[in-house]
Amino acid sequence: MKRVCHMTSAHNSDDVRIFHKECTSLAKAGYDVWLVARGGSRDENGVHVLGVGQPSGGRLSRMTGFARRVYDTALTLDADIYHLHDPELLPYALKLKRHGKKVIFDSHEDTLNQMSQKQWIPVVIRPFVSVAYRRYAENVFRRLDALISVTPHVVEELRQINPHTWMVTNYPKLDEQILVKDKRPEKFTLCFTGGIDEQWCHAEIIAAINAVDRVRYVLCGFGAPGYLAELQGLPGWDKADYRGKVPHEEAVRLQRQSDAGMALLKPSNNSGRMRGTLGNTKIFEYMMSGLPVICTDFALWQDIIDRYQCGLCIDPTRADEIIGAIKRLEDDPQEARRMGQNGRRAVEQEFNWGTQEAKLLELYEDISRKREVRPC
């Protein structure tokens, strides 16, 4: 039985992509799976979680000393394949190669192009940090056994560096539960589940609903106090229903009690500007809950929405388009219901983790068959 070790210093041990999708799928397929991560140890879903405690100090401490702790612990497992999830672990990727191990790097986001937008890096040195990181990362990537990423534009770029690059995107695990919608709420209800931050256009949405009668906006997720204070000072906040961070089951329940899901993401390097990304699960989670989606008109998202007729794509910077989309769905509940049903069908047919699990297992089988010629 091949022993596999997933390593993360930045994510929690119950991370959905790492633990609930990738590690659980590999364990189900018969691999001896270990996950080295922050927190405590446990055995769950056939996965051995080896906790290394919590990082102390700030970000720099986590990226150096704590990352080293994750590596030292992982090395003791003497696994056949190591699967790394954070850029700060890249120095240890080559150390593992020198030990004769097979190594995969999983790029959850467009890490090569993100450094220029990282708020924690002082503005004056961001260009230099971005260039230096890119050169270093490309050198490491060329020497690894495989790379993984979540969306076409990132995969295409990584494949130019290392041809052994696979796309294993972040579609949700299919919930087999039959959807039974609750009684239609008195007010047309929009929902958002996820991180409450500026990139999701909450200020623009709140400004828009201020101009729409009989509508409310349910928000679930963590929000920084400063940003929440800004939102709470906006006209229209009285129509918002902020629930804070809630358990996953509660978020799903609130989705299914809503009329539409909001996914107005601002363009960024990580989204490939207006190309869009498949790495963010938000639109697929709404679709799985049977909700019509109101989302940014990224090329990738527009293609999905047009193909399955499961929502509306708009320019998130235009209040008139946000208002128009809300009113269209509110005024035509039959169309909204049809879009929600179409979205659910799309997830069942295409946009579910089962399709990606097959790719992950194929990648692992491919790597397992290859003989390690020599350490780097």
Structure tokens given for 154: 């990132």
Round to whole Å and give the CA distance between 268 and 116.
11
DSSP one-letter code for 20 = I
**Residue 40: pLDDT over 50:** yes
* pLDDT range class, residue 56, cuts 50, 70, 90: confident
* Cross-strand pairs, 137: none
Round to whole Å and give the CA distance between 182 and 279.
30
For the ranges 54-63, 135-144, 342-351, which has the lowest average pLDDT?
A: 54-63
- Residue-by-residue DSSP string for 52-75: -B---SSHHHIIIIIHHHHHHHHH
Top-confidence residue, 266 or 130? 266
- Residue-by-residue DSSP string for 340-356: HHHHHHHHHHTSSHHHH
Each residue of 318-355: b (16+ CB within 10 Å) or e?
eeebbbebbeebbeeeeebbebbbbbbebbeeebbbee
**Residue 291: pLDDT over 90:** yes
pLDDT value, residue 1: 78
* pLDDT range class, residue 113, cuts 50, 70, 90: confident
**Which domains, ranges and CATH numbers included, belong to the chain?**
3-171+353-369 (3.40.50.2000), 188-349 (3.40.50.2000)
* pLDDT range class, residue 179, cuts 50, 70, 90: low
pLDDT value, residue 374: 40
* Cross-strand pairs, 35: 6, 49
The torsion defined by the Cα of 359, 361, 367 and 369, in degrees rounded to 10, comes to: -120
pLDDT value, residue 46: 98
Residue reference for tokens 């450094």: 115
Average per-residue pLDDT in the chain?
92
Structure tokens given for 226: 């400063």
**Residue 339: pLDDT over 70:** yes
* pLDDT range class, residue 297, cuts 50, 70, 90: very high
Structure tokens given for 317: 């910077």
Across 244-265, average pLDDT: 94
pLDDT value, residue 44: 97
Spatial strand order in the sheet of 240-244:
240-244, 215-220, 188-193, 260-263, 293-296, 311-314
**Residue 216: pLDDT over 80:** yes
Round to whole Å and give the CA distance between 368 and 329.
50
Q: Which residues contact 272 (CB under 8 A, 6 or more apart)?
A: 110, 151, 153, 154
Round to whole Å and give the CA distance between 190 and 207.
14
pLDDT value, residue 55: 87
* pLDDT range class, residue 375, cuts 50, 70, 90: very low
**Residue 180: pLDDT over 60:** no
pLDDT value, residue 289: 94
pLDDT value, residue 373: 41
